[in-house]
Chain A
């Protein structure tokens, strides 16, 4: 990890129709770091990710991603930032190979070079042989692998994951998490991911941030500093539960 911050949120607030989804959220993700955002439903995790992606403008505060404002300088982040969603979101009219090549084509890589790179990425996510299959011919796990290949094929410095493994069965999800973690480490990507499963966060992340509504950090921990992951899982769960109880009392 170089230490330079790739993602910076400074007192970011998002208000929609009078409802505050994110309030004065500040966080930093260093280059090459993998950070997990956990928190109960409505904690503002997805809003935070959308702000970082540039699809939402914050009501106030400052956001910098790879040195750019992701909303105002939207196109400047092309190829530098990519996201994998909760569902695979594959284009049904494209084969697996063509789906992986989508981001490359948007980035200006066409024809044989795009196909070659897409093929390489399919191999990396263990999907060799499925190049010509259409999404409806693939299982959920296979589709999610293709989706991950599509995200990583553009070689983004920053990768966002929005509960990308949550809709898969436990075995497929664990396998994909392990493969993804390995790829991210290998390639030195900066990664910010949302998950509901505390165990996934502790297993995959260098840092775990626990968010409480309206999206403020209530706990910032490093799994590497805790020899027993079960203790850390309990600590995170306790923080989430405390937040939940205090909100009910309010």
Chain B
């Protein structure tokens, strides 16, 4: 699909604004590094060197963090979507499931982290458990809301062809749900990245969070900032990837122009 001139102008001005912000931050770090010791604020070039070292020597930690993130997001997406559908179809179960999700969203992430340390020995299980329980309600609630927003007219239209339940799901419910699932993923991915880092910080020997814990105990501010930069880059890349999937799967949506 060819993007409109207004969309191109907007994209260019967004990119320019992003660049200006990055340059301003780098300049501020450089200025600060002149006045304070390196363990408080190292120079941008030192951070860059640390980042290069991390990318070339700690690749396994980055991969481990990403795999944990993808695994937990995927599992929450699948189970959360199923729960959302169940909430709509099994009316007798709906109030119980909803109450369960409300309780889950009310439990602080930190509580889950501490509970996970007590309940699981294996760090992978701990991290998966924490992320899964934190992300699950987002998918379940958004999918349930999405299903409720399905226009009755479209349901009647599809029903008029007398489909089986599976056909109705395939041709109507599933394509209708895709925007809601993508939107949820877009909203939670940054939060999920922060949570996986916290979880690794508390209970893992491998991963970006674990490496940050080591850097913290060694007063290596350049490493901590380098990991932070990498996390920001990862978040931008992940958002871009989701944007790509969104454009691919939701290309049928017309662009809305606002005056």
Contact surface of A with B, Cβ cutoff 8 Å: 53-55, 74-75, 77-78, 82-83, 85, 87, 89, 91-95, 102-103, 105-107, 134, 136-137, 154
CB neighbours (8 Å) of A107 from chain B are 161
Q: Are A105 and B171 in contact (CB under 8 A)?
A: yes
For B160, give its contact among A83, A91, A92, A105 (CB under 8 Å). Answer: A83
CB neighbours (8 Å) of B175 from chain A are 91, 93-94
* Given A55-B156, A87-B153, A91-B154, CB of A103 within 8 Å of CB of B254: no
Pairs A–B under 8 Å by Cβ, sample size 29 = A53-B160, A55-B156, A55-B160, A74-B162, A75-B162, A77-B162, A82-B161, A85-B157, A87-B153, A89-B156, A89-B157, A91-B154, A91-B171, A91-B172, A92-B252, A93-B175, A94-B175, A95-B252, A102-B158, A102-B161, A103-B161, A105-B167, A105-B171, A106-B161, A106-B162, A106-B167, A134-B252, A136-B253, A137-B254
CB neighbours (8 Å) of A94 from chain B are 175, 252
Q: Which 9 A-B pairs give the minimum distances between C-beta atoms?
A: A89-B157, A136-B254, A78-B162, A106-B161, A103-B161, A106-B163, A93-B252, A93-B175, A134-B252
CB neighbours (8 Å) of B153 from chain A are 85, 87, 89
CA distance A178 to B160 in the complex (A): 25
CB neighbours (8 Å) of B250 from chain A are 93
Q: Does B14 contact A (CB under 8 A)?
A: no
B41 vs chain A, min Cβ distance (A): 50
Q: Does B8 contact A (CB under 8 A)?
A: no
Q: Does B216 contact A (CB under 8 A)?
A: no
Q: Mark B129-164, 1 if CB is under 8 A from A, else 0.
A: 000000000000000000000000110111111111
Q: Besides A102-B161, A134-B254, 14 other CB < 8 A contacts?
A: A54-B162, A78-B161, A85-B156, A89-B156, A91-B175, A93-B176, A93-B178, A93-B250, A94-B175, A103-B161, A105-B171, A106-B162, A136-B253, A136-B254
Contact surface of B with A, Cβ cutoff 8 Å: 153-154, 156-164, 167, 171-172, 175-176, 178, 250, 252-254
Q: Are B171 and A102 in contact (CB under 8 A)?
A: yes
Of B159, B163, B176, which is in contact with the most chain A CB atoms at under 10 Å from its CB? B163
- Main secondary structure, interface of B, reads helix
B120 vs chain A, min Cβ distance (A): 41
CA distance A134 to B252 in the complex (A): 6
CB neighbours (8 Å) of B162 from chain A are 54, 74-75, 77-78, 106
Q: Are A154 and B161 in contact (CB under 8 A)?
A: yes
CB neighbours (8 Å) of A102 from chain B are 158, 161, 171
CA distance A93 to B254 in the complex (A): 10
CB neighbours (8 Å) of B171 from chain A are 91, 102, 105-106
CA distance A87 to B152 in the complex (A): 12
B161 vs chain A, min Cβ distance (A): 4
Question: Which chain B residue lies CB-closest to A104?
Answer: B161
CB neighbours (8 Å) of A75 from chain B are 162, 164
CA distance A94 to B172 in the complex (A): 10
Question: Which chain A residue lies CB-closest to B168?
Answer: A106
CA distance A77 to B159 in the complex (A): 12
A24 vs chain B, min Cβ distance (A): 26
A203 vs chain B, min Cβ distance (A): 26
Of B157, B163, B178, B253, which is in contact with the most chain A CB atoms at under 10 Å from its CB? B157
CA distance A78 to B164 in the complex (A): 10
Q: Are B253 and A92 in contact (CB under 8 A)?
A: yes
CA distance A91 to B253 in the complex (A): 11
CB neighbours (8 Å) of A53 from chain B are 160
CB neighbours (8 Å) of A105 from chain B are 167, 171
CB neighbours (8 Å) of B253 from chain A are 92, 136
A49 vs chain B, min Cβ distance (A): 11
CB neighbours (8 Å) of B164 from chain A are 75
Question: Which chain B residue lies CB-closest to A91?
Answer: B154
Question: Which chain B residue lies CB-closest to A147?
Answer: B157
CA distance A180 to B70 in the complex (A): 52
CA distance A117 to B162 in the complex (A): 19
Q: Are B254 and A89 in contact (CB under 8 A)?
A: no
CB neighbours (8 Å) of A134 from chain B are 252, 254
A80 vs chain B, min Cβ distance (A): 9
CA distance A74 to B161 in the complex (A): 10
CB neighbours (8 Å) of B163 from chain A are 106
CA distance A93 to B177 in the complex (A): 11
B46 vs chain A, min Cβ distance (A): 50
CB neighbours (8 Å) of B254 from chain A are 134, 136-137
CB neighbours (8 Å) of A137 from chain B are 254
